């Protein structure tokens, strides 16, 4: 898949991390029903590989499906076998190269300019600034865009509605949103509330424009 193009088109990555595998799967499917095209299932959630495998079966072969918290080469291989089509990492570990070798584009976690340069050398598809809220939010993103104006940055970590709006306005290609969007749905919480939040975030990125 062309991950940079998908990020630029949809501008939102939903991050699903749940304590209940069935609830996490239900969350993925509801987000897809609500028109959120880019969904990441974190390997730090319960039985995440099974969630990915079941989600792939339900969503069909063509929709993108991401795997998050990819730390090792084994993580990348297992997620690829389960049906993930792109990988998200918190940093520049061995999972990056392994995912690339498997043909999965990588949204790689960085924080500093040095890490941005190192990630570019690894031929990653886009860069996840993590954790953005704790690092200065949109102001820090804007500072990074100075020396790296053409890099597709995706701020993640503490991204609520206000941070999402500010980062998109500052030049983020997309934003990654976990608990402010997913809430407790992946732990067995309200699906109705999840739908409401999904519509809010969908509206927010649509307002931000391309």
pLDDT band for 138, please (50, 70, 90 cuts).
very high
Q: What is the pLDDT of residues 65-104, one digit of tens each?
A: 999 999 999 999 999 999 999 999 999 999 999 999 999 9
Q: Are 21 and 51 in contact (CB under 8 A)?
A: yes
Domain membership of residue 210 (yes or no) is no
Q: What is the pLDDT of residue 91?
A: 96
The per-residue pLDDT for 48 is: 98
Residue 94 annotated to the active site: no
Rounded CA-CA distance 198/188 in Å is 16
pLDDT tens by residue, 144-185: 999 999 999 999 999 999 999 999 999 999 999 999 999 999
- Band (209; pLDDT cuts 50, 70, 90): confident
Residue 124, domain member (yes or no):
yes
pTM for the whole thing? 0.97
Residue 207: Cβ-neighbour burial (10 angstroms; 0-12, 13-18, 19+)? exposed
Tokens 């990630």 correspond to 119
Please report, for the domain that includes residue 115, its CATH number: 3.20.20.70
Number of domains present in the structure of the chain: 1
The answer as to whether 97 is a domain residue is: yes
Task: Quote the domain boundaries for residue 141.
Answer: 3-205
Report if residue 12 sits inside a domain: yes
pLDDT band for position 6 (cuts 50, 70, 90): very high
Catalytic, out of 33, 128, 142, 207: 128
Residue 154: partners with Cβ closer than 8 Å, 6 or more residues away:
7, 13, 107, 126, 127, 128, 129, 172, 173, 174, 175, 176
Residue 145 belongs to a domain: yes
Q: Given 19, 34, 37, 40, which residue is catalytic?
A: 40
pLDDT of residue 210 exceeding 80: no
- Residues 154 and 125: beta-carbon distance below 8 Å: no
Answer yes or no: 128 catalytic: yes
Could you tell me if residue 113 is inside a domain?
yes
Q: Terminal CA-to-CA distance of the chain, rounded, Å? A: 19
């Amino acid at each position: 898949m062309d991950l940079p193009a998908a990020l630029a088109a949809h501008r939102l990555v939903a991050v699903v991390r749940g304590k209940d595998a069935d609830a996490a799967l239900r969350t993925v499917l509801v987000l897809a029903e609500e028109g959120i095209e880019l969904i990441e299932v974190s390997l730090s959630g319960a039985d995440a590989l099974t969630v990915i495998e079941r989600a792939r079966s339900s969503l069909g072969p063509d929709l993108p499906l991401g795997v998050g918290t990819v730390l090792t080469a084994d993580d990348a291989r297992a997620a690829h076998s389960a049906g993930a089509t792109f990988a998200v990492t918190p940093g520049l570990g061995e999972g990056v190269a392994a995912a690339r070798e498997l043909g999965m584009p990588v949204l790689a976690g960085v924080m500093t300019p040095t890490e941005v340069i190192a990630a570019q050398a690894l031929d990653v598809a886009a860069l996840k600034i993590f954790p953005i809220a704790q690092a200065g939010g949109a102001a820090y993103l804007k500072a990074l865009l100075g020396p790296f104006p053409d890099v597709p940055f995706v701020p993640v970590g503490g991204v609520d509605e206000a941070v999402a709006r500010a980062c998109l306005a500052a030049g983020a290609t997309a934003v990654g949103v976990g608990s402010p969007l997913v809430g407790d749905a992946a732990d067995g919480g309200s699906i109705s509330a999840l739908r409401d939040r999904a519509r809010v975030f969908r509206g927010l990125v649509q307002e931000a424009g391309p």
